[in-house]
Amino acid sequence: MAELEDRSRRNNLRFEGIEETEGETWKNSEEKVKKLIKEKLSINEEIHIERAHRTGKKEDNNGKIIIRRTIVVKFLDYKDRETILDNYKKLKLWNEKMYINEDFSERTINIRKQLFIKAKEIRSSGHNLSNKIPYVDNNSVDEFISSPNSTINFSNLTYNEFEIAFKSLKRNKAIGPDDINGNIVIDSFNEIKDILFKVFKASITQGSFPNSLKIAKKSIRNFEKNLALNSKSNPKSVYAYINNKTRFKDSIKAIKLHNGIITTDNQEIVNTFNEFFASVFIQDDSPEEVLDDNLLTKCSDPDFRSIPKLWSCANVVPLFKKGNKLDPTNYRPVSLTSIVDDTKVISINHCYDDNKILQEDINRLVKWSEDWLITFNESKCKVMYIGKKNPRYEYKLNNSVLTETMIENDLGIFISNNLEWKYHINSAIGKANRKLGMIKNSFEYLDELSLKLLYKSLVRPHLEYGATVWSPFWKKDIDNLEIVQHRATRIESLRGKSYEERLKILKLPTLFDRRRREFPKVTGVIDCTHICIQKPHEHEYAYVDRSSNHSINVQAVCDNKGNFIDVVAKWPGSTHDARILRESKLGKKFMDGTFKGLLIGDSGFPCFRWLLTPYLNLTTASQHRYNISLRKTRVIIEQVFGRWKRRFHLLHSEIRMTPERTCTSVAACAVLHNLAIQLNDGDMDENPIENDENDNEDIVAENNFQFRDDFALRHF
């Protein structure tokens, strides 16, 4: 069996009995094989043939010379070979003079004969065979052994074989192109079996494929293509189709009752399940829920003590399953009962008094909940401490200490106490892989267009939701996200092509490029960061920054790969970002036109034709999209600063050197950072740091806001 499987893995197929005229080349024979595969087996996918060679002889048929060829074809893809064999064995459409043989060597034929002889002996003795051995009835085995060919001739279809095959049909199959339910066909088999047998017998004898089966395949393909085309606007139809394919359709045959007796009666099974579901979802002993009068009083008009008229238009829906469905207490207006059940209190604490202020805020929330008769679930209330030096002050809710949490889900994004995004990225990858698996397992005809539409509509959004917040910069996270798209693009029509070639054919960018290429025509991203230093002896006041620390304000420009392309490290911490840009060589060369390009920065910089900043007051949809795109692209400079300071711990703490020597060290660290990226040297420390606060003011530059407006209108 092992030797037979080894030989069967070869990509060769043998087509026997193909007629051709004199003078045909091997290329003509190859095209003839492709035509036969397409017409007889209804295989519309492109079949790749590596080479074909012919053997054969001339026959004299009433003075007409007929050449019958045996063509041995080597397929480029093993799956093409398997598809042809499966359709051939399943449809049995070849006439008596035409065979497809999966083996061509004499040794393989002898091995198969020995295997079938042994299988016949074991089956005759009453023993079961392994599933690896293909089932062939004894009559076919005898015919196969006596035949010089290594294939079984299926043209002699018997009435008994037809009846057995027809009775194996499943009742839960979908309706075919004739719009006749399968149950009707099965139930009326005795009346139509004679006619059906003649139809199938004629089809096999004539070697013609039934048009109805071609229509059935075509209808499924068109239906799936329409689903893919509308997957963006109507994803529910796709999920309904997938659920229909994956749903467990077999009914429950038996169940054990409370007394231990197993019953097969359908009514008893239904009653048992109803009792179980009622015990889970209905609480008979709980008090009946009604609206408190105090709530109505608080919600009423303060002058007239009456319920607002708009409440008469409230959307009234059932909210719980309890009691009689006709009982009006089971129906409540959404405006009275739908409340926000998630409350967050965020505080930046610098001292012990700040902790007390946060505790007082929590106490006020408790008082508010008591006034409005809304109780907090203490078991679900938690506290998250962010930062290594956080003192972990114990906060209480109703005299109960809040438990600490490491990871919380906020609007679909998992936030951890160390501000790492590993858990969220793994969660997004898991969701995307599950969607991709459902699509590939449910759709029978996934061509390039259908795959692209389904992937963009149902899979890729999971990999990009909130990417502005958690956009990864670790190589392993970037690669893990890219693997999902790598797996998604692997379909039959693109087999054998590299990932880059598949993306080019599908016209898809990499996920990394999508996260980086949001803003068009960008040369670099500019921003400033503060490097803390010890208190200098001279001009100490000039080095005090916004956070009341002594620092050097460093201006940097980076490219899309995270390399520094310009660094200015010489200005005290109190210097504004706009002044550093105005006095720098980079800014002057952009101003006089020496440098051509486009930079993007935050609102702390002025707006020029070569430097675009975000809008503060949004008035149009294009401005809103402009801001989102700019923010997603500008996040790379914040990530570069974080990596830079983690790579060189000198920059992350207070530098105990003079300002002059500090500026020299900062410039050296920038050069080493670029070298580390070029040498693929990974970051050593994975602990994140907080990003510097950006200036909130918008620096005005005359005659340049119009250029920004035109740019936003043109591109967004």
Residue with tokens 């062939």: 136
Confidence band for 371, pLDDT divided at 50, 70 and 90: confident
Q: pLDDT tier at 313 (50, 70, 90 boundaries)?
A: low
Helix axes 621-647, 705-715, angle to 10 degrees: 100
Please tell me the predicted confidence (pLDDT) of residue 559: 87
Mean pLDDT, residues 297-320: 52
684-701: buried (b, 16+ CB within 10 Å) or exposed (e) per residue?
Answer: eeeebbeebebbeebbeb
Q: Are strands 396-397 and 413-416 parallel, antiparallel or unpaired?
A: unpaired
Q: How many other β-carbons are positioned within 10 Å of the β-carbon of residue 603?
A: 17
Q: How far is CA 176 from the centre of its chain?
A: 32
The pLDDT of residue 18 is 67
Percentage with pLDDT > 90 across the chain: 11
Q: Which of 152, 154, 188 is nearest to 169 (CA)?
A: 188
Residue 684, pLDDT score? 44
Q: DSSP per residue over 360-420, as a string?
A: HHHHHHHHHHHHTT----GGG-EE---STT---PPPEETTEEPEE-SEEEETTEEEETT--
**pLDDT by residue (tens digit) across 178-223?**
667 777 878 888 888 888 887 777 776 665 556 655 555 566 777 8
Reported as a pLDDT band with limits 50, 70 and 90, residue 39 is low
* pLDDT (average), residues 502-525: 81
- Residue 325's pLDDT band, with cuts at 50, 70 and 90, is very low
Report phi then psi at 95, rounded to 5. -80, 180
Residue whose entry in the numeric block shows the structure tokens 């007929």:
66
Which of the two residues, 120 and 403, has the higher pLDDT score? 403
- In the structure encoding, which two tokens stand for residue 647, read together? 């790579």
Residue 240 has pLDDT above 70, yes or no: yes
Minimal CA–CA distance to 407: which of 434, 432, 425? Answer: 425
Per the listing, tokens 């008979």 go with 284
Strand pairing category for 599-600 and 611-612: parallel
SS3 category, 26: helix
Q: Are 77 and 495 a contacting pair, CB within 8 Å?
A: yes
More confident residue, 569 or 271: 569
- So what's the pLDDT on residue 68? 64
Stretch 90-118: mean pLDDT: 56
Q: Is 653 exposed, middle or buried (0-12, 13-18, 19+ CB in 10 A)?
A: exposed
> Residues near 705 by Cβ (< 8 Å), separated by ≥ 6?
607
3-state secondary structure of 298: helix
Mean pLDDT of 139-158: 52
**Phi, psi dihedral angles at 375 (to 5 degrees):** -100, 130
- Asked whether the predicted pLDDT for residue 300 surpasses 70, the reply is no
Q: Read off the amino acid at residue 348.
A: I
Q: What is the pLDDT of residues 661-678, one digit of tens each?
A: 999 999 999 999 999 888
As given in the structure block, the two tokens for residue 563 are 């390399």
pLDDT (mean) for 232-256: 74
Examine the pLDDT at 509 and tell me if it is beyond 70. Answer: yes
More confident of the two residues 464 and 150: 464
Handedness of CA 702, 704, 709, 712 (dihedral sign): negative
Residue 24 has pLDDT above 60, yes or no: yes
Cβ–Cβ < 8 Å for 492, 603: no
Which DSSP state fits 21? -
Alpha carbon separation from 306 to 139, 270, 293, 540 (Å, rounded): 91, 49, 12, 65
What distance in Å separates the CA atoms of residue 476 and residue 480, rounded to the nearest whole number?
6
Confidence category of residue 681, pLDDT binned at 50, 70, 90: low
What pLDDT is stored for residue 331 in this prediction?
A: 43
The tokens for 388 are 């290594």
Q: Is it the case that residue 560 has pLDDT exceeding 90?
A: no
Worst-scoring range by mean pLDDT, 17-21, 402-406, 469-473?
17-21
User: What is the model's pLDDT at position 175?
Assistant: 64
Closest CA to 450 of 136, 229, 294: 229
Question: Do 200 and 157 form a contact (C-beta atoms < 8 A)?
Answer: yes
DSSP-derived letter for residue 606 is -
Please indicate whether residue 596 or residue 36 has the higher confidence score (pLDDT): 596
Torsion of CA 71, 75, 81, 83, to 10 degrees: -110
Average the pLDDT over 23-48 and give the result. Answer: 67
- Residue 194 has what pLDDT? 82
b (16+ CB within 10 A) / e for 244-255: eeeeeeeeeeee
3-state secondary structure of 325: coil
- Structure confidence at residue 42 as a pLDDT band (50, 70, 90): low
Among 278-282, 384-388, 694-698, which stretch is predicted with the lowest mean pLDDT? 694-698
Cα separation, 472 vs 683, in Å, equals: 13
- Residue 42, C-beta contacts closer than 8 angstroms, at least 6 positions apart: 87, 209, 213, 214, 217
Per residue in 57-101, pLDDT (tens digit) is 555 555 555 566 666 666 655 556 666 666 655 444 444 445 555
- Residue 630 confidence (pLDDT): 86
Residue of 329 and 390 predicted with greater confidence = 390
Query: According to the model, what pLDDT value does residue 74 have?
Result: 62
Which pLDDT belongs to residue 425? 92
Task: Collect all residues with Cβ–Cβ distance below 8 Å to 579 and sequence separation of at least 6.
Answer: 571
Q: Does the pLDDT of residue 148 top 60, yes or no?
A: no
Tokens 């004199």 map to which residue?
A: 22
| Residues 6 or more apart in contact with residue 333 via CB below 8 angstroms | 311, 314, 315, 316
8/115 Cα distance (integer angstroms): 14
- Residue in this structure with the two tokens 């408190």, named with its chain if needed: 292
CA neighbor of 20 nearest in space, from 75, 62, 70, 92: 70
Q: Three-class SS string for 242-292?
A: HHHHHCCCCCCCCEECCCCCEECCHHHHHHHHHHHHHHHHCCCCCCCCCCC
The pLDDT assigned to 488 comes to: 92
The whole-number pLDDT of residue 333 equals: 47
At residue 5, the pLDDT reads: 53
Q: How far apart are CA 233 and CA 450, in angstroms?
A: 14
Q: Tens digit of pLDDT for each residue in 464-504?
A: 888 878 888 788 888 999 999 999 999 888 888 899 999 99
Whether the predicted pLDDT of 143 surpasses 70: no
Q: Give the three-class secondary structure for 62.
A: coil
pLDDT tens, residue by residue, 592-635: 888 888 898 988 888 888 888 998 888 888 888 788 888 888 88
Identify the sign of the CA torsion 38, 41, 46, 49.
negative
Best-predicted range by mean pLDDT among 265-269, 272-276, 637-641? 637-641
> Cα–Cα distance between 161 and 158 in angstroms, integer?
5
**Confidence (pLDDT) at 252:** 63
| CA gap 504, 335 in Å, rounded | 51
With tokens 């004969």, the residue in question is 113
| Nearest-angstrom CA–CA distance, 505 and 495 | 12
pLDDT at 158: 75
Pure H helices in 494-651: 499-506, 511-516, 577-583, 585-591, 621-647
Name the percent of the chain lying above pLDDT 70: 62
Q: How far is residue 448's CA from residue 506's CA, in Å, rounded to a whole number? A: 7
- Mean of pLDDT over the chain: 74
Is residue 635 within 8 Å of residue 667, measured between CB atoms? no
Q: Which two tokens stand for residue 64?
A: 């007409």
pLDDT of residue 43: 65
pLDDT at 486: 93
Tally of CB atoms within 10 A around 63: 5
Q: Which tokens hold the place of 60?
A: 């004299």
Q: What is the CA radius of gyration of the chain?
A: 37
Q: How many CB atoms lie within 10 A of CB 711?
A: 17
